[in-house]
Amino acid sequence: MMSAMERILVIDDDVELCHLVGEYLQAEGFTIECVHDGESGLKKATTGEYLLAVLDVMLPGINGFEVLRRIRATSRLPVLLLTARGEDVDRIVGLEIGADDYLPKPFNPRELVARIRAVLRRTHADGALPAAPDIVRVGEVELDPATRTVRLDGKPVDLTSVEFNLLEVLLREAGRVVPRERLVNAVLSRKFSPFDRSIDMHVSKVRKKLGDTDSDEHIKTVRGVGYIFARPREKAKV
């Protein structure tokens, strides 16, 4: 009987592509299941039976964005979004909704496997972040690595796996500037590119969830360098 830890769900209406991806993933030791429309993909993605979902934006019926939005309403299942090449808006919208990573079509199946491995490393915190059972507290923000939960003034904050890892890096370095390059390497598990704004989108989403405003910021931008999680006494400083 298959374990959820072995299964990857591919939601894409391109049958030939699904077959090709399946061959590569099976060679990596995964078992895949493919569905070809949004409704079926959504039903399977929310069963808790899969390790990760590969989700195409362009789907018959419910499109990929809506599938992702509904998944995020009830599940933190890691999702890698397949977007049209050159469509920056697709990538931005996908990250805003809660995608853990994206890959433009057409793509090299080997890159897809590498991206999946990177997402899984981040999700299970076995390579991107140091494993630590201690709870991290900075001001009113509390992060528990053991349960992967975050609280703000005692109230739970719902974060995706990428957002959680990003916040953990910043909290552990609170009061110190973390360069964008380091964040990309640690949180997204890929090399830094000055043209890749993915990490900035994730920071923006974490800021919103922490209730940051122009006059009261937890996460401050250090222009041209990176980001810093301000300690309580430093939040008012420029």
Query: pLDDT (tens digit, 9 = 90+) per residue, 54-72?
Result: 999 999 989 999 999 999 8
Residue 69: count other Cβ atoms within 10 Å of its Cβ: 16
Q: How far apart are CA 99 and CA 75, in angstroms?
A: 12
Residue 103: count other Cβ atoms within 10 Å of its Cβ: 19
Token pair of 209, please? 């969830």
Mean pLDDT calculated for residue range 113-131:
69
Question: Model confidence at 218, in pLDDT bands (50, 70, 90)?
Answer: very high
Q: Residue 195 has what pLDDT?
A: 78
The closest of 75, 2, 1 to 32, measured between CA atoms, is: 2
| pLDDT tens per residue across span 129-154 | 334 447 889 999 999 877 788 999 99
Burial (CB < 10 A; 0-12, 13-18, 19+), residue 111, is exposed
Give me the domains of the chain, ranges plus CATH numbers: 4-124 (3.40.50.2300), 136-234 (1.10.10.10)
